[in-house]
Amino acid sequence: MEKTFWLINVFFITLITGLTAQNINKEQSSEQLSLWYEQPAKAWMTEALPIGNGPLGAMLFGGTEIERIQFNEISLWSGDRMPIKDDLTEEDMGAHQAFGDIYIRLGHDFNKVTNYKRSLDLNTAIHLVEYDYMGVHYVQKAFASHPGNVIVVQLTADKPMAFTGDVWLTDMHDGKITLDEKNKRFYSVGDMKNGFEYESQLQVFTSGEKLKMKRSNQQSSGMEPVPFLGLNFIKSDSVTLILSAGTNFKQDFKSEWLGEHPHAKVTENVDAASLKGVDALLVEHLADYQNLFGRVSFDLGKTDSSLREKSTLKRLQAYKMDNSFDPELEALFAQYGRYLLISCSRPGSLPANLQGNWNNSNLPVWAGDYHSNINLEMNYWPAETANLGECHVPFIDYVSSLREVSALNTRKHYGDVRGWTIQTMNNATGLSFWKWNAPGSAWYAQHLWEHYAFGRDKDYLRNTAYPILKEICHFWEDHLVRRADGTLVTPDGWSPEQYKYEPEEGVTYDQEIIYDLFTNTIEAAEVLGGDEAFKKKLIGMREDLLKPAIGRWGQLKEWEIDKDDPEDHHRHVSHLFALYPGRQISVAKTPELAEAAKVSLNARGDESTGWSRAWKINFWARLGDGNRSYKLLRNLINLVDETKTIYGNSGAGVYSNLLDSHPPFQIDGNLGATAGYCEMLMQSHADEIQLLPALPSAWPEGSVKGLRARGGFEIDITWKEGKLTDVVIYSESGLPCKVTYNGKVWESKTKAGKSYTLNQSLKR
């Protein structure tokens, strides 16, 4: 099926100068962009609300008797740092660790509290708790400042001397907690017995003078509100807390991952923030956060006002039970993924793990690790399209940091090969555990290329991305097997996580990811020039790779041998990598394979784990079926409270705090879903920008502003009655631009820094 495009010869372009990303989005109000609840959270996983600044993350409960603020630092890991043994165990790999909690005891009996509301405003990244108690109106405001690397909590009231209670800090390990009584600062200092040292400091400000230290004989476990060492305040006008935490983790294999003790840095953060004060910190926080968050807006339609007034929990219940039409909740969920990524992935720290940076356990499920066979990659699917390129950087830095250690591991396992790859479970220091995932590093490499494809920073491509792409190609040059007929296959592939089958040749998942790696590297070599021989070699090898093929029941084959079971509802759909996030299969260029992908997807079914549903939103968007994507989206915004691990289809969806349930909580489903919205509304993987490629009939009217397309473009799209009405394209890099909608094409040169309004040409 050839798509017939015709070139519009006459089109109208309005040049708007000076329109930049930063001033296009003030369109979704805080009201529309808030999660809110009528009761304090009881359960960490399903109810508490997350804030974070990249390195620090916290979950807030909004308690009135006791408030609990559970916090994390993204580099606090147990386990070993260095690949010391041949057969690593899960214990060697360790796990991401919980750090500690702040508790504030106010003793406001919730039964006597009125007008209670706790909320999280995605526009400002502020968590707010408000209520009335004994004639006093109480407000608790909390935010995580990225510029200051602190978490700030401020309690105020409309009457003086309203606060009497205790505050204390806990530690989830055997750290020592001390209190500098004079300066009202808590310290928790410890080490993980693996070389990693950590420290947190909590500065307390109260207005009353009657502050005293309180000791208890009971040891705090970090889970229960037992003050080991508390600070008691009496009749204070307000309570302000400033927390910072850090470790000596250094993202450098050569230094054995060890840097400075965090004491100086944490002290500096808390001192500087204390000096600044909450108001100045807030101004700084808003400028930083909104610069990222404010770039994109989603208007997917209006929710009925009677529904809009309800709490997030009630809306989720209505969405599930009454099949309510709630496009504002859907837009909120799209933005939540952006909020979460901004809050747990900032340059200078580790990437988002399985739970982003929100973890209350020292034995989190799957170690709270970096899973290479879908999860870590999915976390970063929205990074570029949802206009958060900066938030992609921690993943890229992480990949860079793995090179040497992974090359050692790879040679131990694969023998005499160049380059490197990884296993399925990975920690912060490149310790790899469980099944080898041979194409894992090539999948990571896709992200390095995509960061260039959207951002067009040639220096980055030359100095950071290309050397890594190239060395991963070297791994495949050495590891691929050439058959007698010249075909290149992987010798030992495994389609994740199909336990029934032993490793074998030419598994589709491997072949497609290698194809993607070679394609990206070839394009990178073209951009940079000067590596002709290598480029030619890759072109030849790509040609010889075993390609995706159609099986006996019309499915896209998962293995070379046609053994796919039509009753297989496995959550992984690895053989469709080429459809998304890859670009080898598309409706336009490979229609038969796209059709086969549909057959496979239909057989797999829509019901599966959280992340699997999110992936399927993206697949159907690439297949141009917006209604099916929408169905999957509804399947994902499915209120559940299941917290045990289930691999099948039950318990998957979202918790009342909108965090994705695998189950249990796993952040990939949130982030993959946000990527899905972007793919439904715009795609740019096929050398053109496709507008509204998979618009569902549930969103007849709306707009999306600030999405990012490959080639360095930012796009605003408006539609009515399911049809495009307005498009504005902002060119960041000045590359030529090709836009398509419904078979119509607009092509033009662009100038960097200019915006183009395509009014008539595409709409007719």
Collapsed DSSP state (helix, strand, coil) of residue 520? helix
Least distance from ligand FUC to the Cβ atom of residue 365, Å: 7
**Which helix or strand (DSSP H or E) is residue 142 part of?**
strand 136-145
- β-strand 100-105 against 163-169: which pairing, if any? antiparallel
Nearest to 341 by CA among 301, 270, 389, 413: 389
Select the residue interacting with ligand FUC from 511, 609, 618, 657 (CB under 6 A): 609
Sign of the Cα pseudo-torsion (379, 383, 385, 387, in order): positive
Nearer to ligand FUC, 265 or 371 (CB): 371
366 binds ligand FUC (CB under 6 A): yes
Number of residues that bind ligand FUC (CB under 6 A): 12
604 binds ligand FUC (CB under 6 A): no
93 binds ligand FUC (CB under 6 A): no
Nearer to ligand FUC, 369 or 688 (CB): 369
Nearer to ligand FUC, 423 or 609 (CB): 609
- Tally DSSP H helices, then E strands, for the chain: 18, 34
Nearest to 681 by CA among 334, 332, 388, 333: 334
709 binds ligand FUC (CB under 6 A): no
Q: Which of residues 323-362 bind ligand FUC (CB under 6 A)?
A: 354
Nearer to ligand FUC, 28 or 666 (CB): 666
Q: How far apart are CA 672 and CA 612, in angstroms?
A: 9
Distance of CA 707 to the CA centre of its chain: 16
571 binds ligand FUC (CB under 6 A): yes
Least distance from ligand FUC to the Cβ atom of residue 515, Å: 23
96 binds ligand FUC (CB under 6 A): no
Residue nearest to ligand FUC (CB): 366
Least distance from ligand FUC to the Cβ atom of residue 631, Å: 21
574 binds ligand FUC (CB under 6 A): no
Select the residue interacting with ligand FUC from 666, 684, 731, 755 (CB under 6 A): 666
Exposed / middle / buried, residue 118 (Cβ in 10 Å: 0-12, 13-18, 19+)? buried
Q: How far apart are CA 334 and CA 344, in angstroms?
A: 16
Task: Render 414-483 in DSSP notation, one character per residue.
Answer: H-S-SS--EEEEE-TTS-EEEEEETTHHHHHHHHHHHHHHHH--HHHIIIIIHHHHHHHHHHHHHH-EE-
371 binds ligand FUC (CB under 6 A): yes
What x-and-dash track marks residues 136-165 binding ligand FUC by CB under 6 A?
A: ------------------------------
Collapsed DSSP state (helix, strand, coil) of residue 162? coil
DSSP state of 225: -
Least distance from ligand FUC to the Cβ atom of residue 619, Å: 17
Nearer to ligand FUC, 310 or 572 (CB): 572
Q: How far apart are CA 668 and CA 367, in angstroms?
A: 15
Nearer to ligand FUC, 72 or 232 (CB): 72
Nearer to ligand FUC, 609 or 629 (CB): 609
Least distance from ligand FUC to the Cβ atom of residue 512, Å: 18
662 binds ligand FUC (CB under 6 A): yes
Least distance from ligand FUC to the Cβ atom of residue 355, Å: 10
Nearest to 114 by CA among 136, 94, 97: 136
Nearer to ligand FUC, 611 or 741 (CB): 611
Nearer to ligand FUC, 274 or 661 (CB): 661
Q: How far apart are CA 169 and CA 549, in angstroms?
A: 58
Helix axes 610-622, 668-681, angle to 10 degrees: 10
Taking residue 482's Cβ as centre, other Cβ atoms within 10 Å add up to 11
Nearer to ligand FUC, 104 or 667 (CB): 667
Nearer to ligand FUC, 495 or 690 (CB): 495
497 binds ligand FUC (CB under 6 A): yes
570 binds ligand FUC (CB under 6 A): no
Least distance from ligand FUC to the Cβ atom of residue 100, Å: 25
Nearer to ligand FUC, 354 or 556 (CB): 354
Least distance from ligand FUC to the Cβ atom of residue 571, Å: 6
Least distance from ligand FUC to the Cβ atom of residue 225, Å: 31
Sign of the Cα pseudo-torsion (649, 332, 740, 23, in order): negative
Residue type, 581: P
Least distance from ligand FUC to the Cβ atom of residue 138, Å: 40
- Residue environment code for 691-705, b if the CB has 16+ CB neighbours within 10 A, otherwise e: bbbbbbebbebbbbb
Question: Look-up: residue for tokens 């495949």?
Answer: 476
Six token digits for residue 354: 């399985």
Least distance from ligand FUC to the Cβ atom of residue 374, Å: 6
- β-strand 744-748 against 6-7: which pairing, if any? parallel
Chain residues binding ligand FUC by CB under 6 A are: 354, 366, 371, 375, 497, 571-572, 609, 611, 647, 662, 666
